[in-house]
């Protein structure tokens, strides 16, 4: 049978690589940053901008949030998350595991799954590998994630081992239920082979793809074990979970350096929930292909902009009469039109447009950075790009600190 996705390396520079990921709905160039659409919306940023200006080919949807509100039945009855939200390009849905473990308390974890109270109204809810697959089939995303348990970043070796063993058993249950759902036509986003996106050498099956998740916190040996177990089960792509959850940055880089090159060469590697522009570049250096993170929009709402010379906060009084854009090197529509002084005024006046404009610029900056990363890998000068990019940010940020005093 044809595959649900196809991924091919197009260029390589050290461990860094570019590729083309074809799903039934779009063709995605990797390394790729995927904007996060938690509640079926990328907070504050309209789809038109993501499509036309930033050319985002894939965004995320959150199983946990959509499960609680508006509820799976409503989305299913409206034809899945694509039809409900009108986002027609690719969607990746997470499994809900991370949110259950980070947002809720009063959890009861058993082999079967996890019982928890909704953070919205306290209702008792239950998620398991099977239920997560059912929800993600109803949402109809192109890429489905297995239901995993994410141990805290500083978890000890025994706790981490227990957690990754459970994750491996859950991965197997996820895959079994996933396959049943595909065969019984429960995927709201199903496309016939002929309507699945064309353009590559092979036809696609029109079905959903399933990614496994490697856990093991900062313990290198456990990461190796988790990777072996996950590859043995076999998935369309492989994710690295449980990083950037409170451990030191050096631990994250060390894990990536060890793990990424050992991951299957011919499948995309996805680093979940990471990170800053510097993190993305560092992870690409170590061989990662896909990223998602809430930082561009979360920081946008608190007045913090990512720029080519480091992070700035628009609340800073020194921008009160600054007629320059957020980033002089950015060509996004926000930077082409509005000054820091104006955006700062909107922010101080609590106008909602301030958060919208900064979120928009931040996403444009992340996507543009990935575009430059891809270009430099193709040209074989990624090392040079990385050095310049990181230098400008650290110089800018240290200069910023010195003018603050």
Q: How many CB atoms lie within 10 A of CB 345?
A: 15
- Residue 318 CB, shortest distance to Zn ion, in Å, is 19
Task: Find the Cα–Cα–Cα–Cα dihedral 64, 70, 74, 75, rounded to 10°.
Answer: -50
Q: What is the DSSP letter of 171?
A: H
What are the residue numbers of the active site?
Answer: 94, 292
Sheet holding 114-117, edge to edge: 108-109, 114-117, 124-127
Beta bridge partners of 143: 92, 209
- Residue 334 CB, shortest distance to Zn ion, in Å, is 5
Q: Which is nearer to Zn ion, 75 or 357 (CB)?
A: 357
104-122 burial: b if 16+ Cβ within 10 Å, else e: beeeeeeeebbbbeeeeee
Residues in region 298-337 near Zn ion by CB under 5 A: 330, 332, 334-335
Residues in region 169-188 near Zn ion by CB under 5 A: none
Q: Residue 126: in which H helix or E strand, if any?
A: strand 124-127
Q: How many residues bind Zn ion (CB under 5 A)?
A: 5
- Residue 249 CB, shortest distance to Zn ion, in Å, is 26
Q: How many CB atoms lie within 10 A of CB 199?
A: 9
Pairing of strands 32-37, 290-293: parallel
- Residue 347 CB, shortest distance to Zn ion, in Å, is 16
- Residue 389 CB, shortest distance to Zn ion, in Å, is 16
Q: Which is nearer to Zn ion, 204 or 335 (CB)?
A: 335
Q: Which is nearer to Zn ion, 43 or 177 (CB)?
A: 43
Q: Which is nearer to Zn ion, 260 or 367 (CB)?
A: 367
Q: Does 214 bind Zn ion (CB under 5 A)?
A: no
Q: Which is nearer to Zn ion, 217 or 363 (CB)?
A: 363
Tokens read off for 65: 């949030």
Q: Residue 34: in which H helix or E strand, if any?
A: strand 32-37
Q: Which of 289, 258, 285, 286 is nearest to 272 (CA)?
A: 289
Q: Does 361 bind Zn ion (CB under 5 A)?
A: yes
Helix-helix angle 220-233:249-259, to 10 degrees = 50
Q: In the complex, which residues of this chain contact Zn ion (CB under 5 A)? A: 330, 332, 334-335, 361
């Amino acid at each position: 049978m044809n595959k649900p996705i196809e991924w091919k390396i197009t260029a390589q520079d050290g461990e860094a690589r570019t590729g083309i990921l074809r799903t039934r709905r779009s063709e995605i160039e990797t390394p790729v940053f995927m904007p996060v659409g938690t509640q079926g919306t990328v907070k504050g940023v309209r789809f038109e901008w993501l499509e036309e200006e930033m050319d985002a080919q894939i965004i995320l949807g959150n199983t946990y949030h959509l499960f609680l509100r508006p509820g799976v039945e409503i989305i299913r009855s409206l034809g899945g998350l694509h039809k409900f939200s009108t986002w027609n390009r690719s969607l990746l849905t997470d499994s809900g595991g991370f949110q259950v473990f980070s947002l809720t308390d009063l959890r009861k974890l058993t082999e079967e799954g996890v019982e928890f109270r909704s953070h919205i109204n306290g209702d008792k809810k239950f998620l398991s590998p099977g239920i997560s697959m059912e929800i993600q089939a109803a949402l109809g995303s192109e890429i489905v994630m297995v239901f995993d348990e994410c141990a805290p970043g500083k978890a000890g070796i025994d706790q981490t081992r227990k957690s990754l063993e459970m994750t491996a058993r859950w991965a197997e249950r996820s895959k079994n239920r996933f396959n049943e759902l595909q065969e019984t036509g429960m995927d709201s986003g199903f496309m016939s082979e002929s309507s699945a996106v064309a353009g590559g050498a092979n036809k696609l099956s029109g079905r959903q793809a399933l990614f496994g998740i490697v856990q093991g916190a900062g313990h290198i040996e456990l990461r190796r074990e988790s990777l072996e177990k996950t590859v043995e089960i076999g998935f369309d792509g492989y994710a690295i979970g449980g990083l950037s959850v409170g451990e030191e940055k050096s631990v994250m880089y060390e894990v990536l350096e060890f793990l990424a090159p050992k991951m299957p060469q011919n499948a995309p590697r996805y680093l979940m929930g990471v990170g800053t522009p510097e993190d993305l570049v560092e992870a690409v250096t170590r061989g990662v292909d896909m990223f998602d993170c809430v930082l561009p929009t979360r920081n946008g709402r608190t007045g913090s902009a990512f720029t080519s010379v480091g992070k700035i906060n628009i609340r800073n009084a020194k921008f009160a009469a600054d007629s320059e854009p957020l980033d002089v090197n950015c060509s996004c529509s926000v930077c082409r039109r509005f000054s820091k002084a104006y955006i700062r005024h909107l922010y101080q006046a609590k106008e909602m447009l301030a958060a919208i404009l900064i979120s928009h610029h931040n996403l444009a900056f992340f996507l543009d950075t990935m575009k430059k990363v891809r270009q430099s890998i193709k040209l074989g000068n990624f090392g040079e790009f990385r050095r310049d990019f990181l230098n400008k940010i650290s110089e800018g940020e240290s200069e910023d600190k010195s003018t603050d005093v």
